Structure 1
Amino acid sequence: MYLYLGYFLVQLYPLIVKVFQLNISLLAVFYSFIVVVIWSFVPFLGYMIAKTLNAGRSASKYFLFFIGLGVGLMEVGLFYFDWLTNEQVTTGTLFVFLMFFAVAFLPVNKVAKHSH
């Protein structure tokens, strides 16, 4: 879930900016929040599917959180630098889905704690 949380925070930022810029009803804000939660969960399914297929060991929560932030920022960068257009949102979602799928297979080196 930390991977999702990092990605979700990147996705939530534009919504918060719009809420403060526009004069919209509380119901519209709530609806927009729900849409962001659901839509940002779709790419996370890539990680969940990979874990279902017995991908490697789990990484630390901090590592996953920062990977989620990084992947979210990469997706934003694809649109910011016009590598993807607003009509290619599905391509951006597929990119994040595949990145999250790949993250599940990253080798994780955990150092065993020895008690002396």
Structure 2
Amino acid sequence: MELVPSTIPGVGVLHHCRTRRGQRLSVLVEHSGTRSLLVDPRPGPDRRPGPGGHGPPGAAAPPGPSRSPSPYGADDGDDVPSVRLILEPDEADQIADLLHTRPIPDRLAVLEDRITRLTEELRS
């Protein structure tokens, strides 16, 4: 997974993520502790035809404020997510626990076994 952090002054850090399949999401970590998942369900750079990702191929981008280049390497001008899920700190922790490849109790058991073995090695 490609991860690109961007500091947003006065707000926090926005972590842009792109999976191996080209799916994009971002995690906004605000100074307040709130986390937001920003999801764009459309695939990567070829999400929509036309410059800036708007309209038919060859169409001009719609007028509006200019945007900074995409952190994903292609200036598609469309870094606005389709979905924003705002999570309280405990909710973010619960989601993080679900995303771990092994549950925390299993990982703690492995660490406890390592500590036991190291302690036994030091005593002998």
Same fold, judged at TM 0.5 (above): no
TM-score (norm 1): 0.24
Flag the structure with higher strand content: 2
TM-score (norm 2): 0.23
More RCO (CA 8 Å, sep 6+): 1
Flag the structure with higher helix content: 1
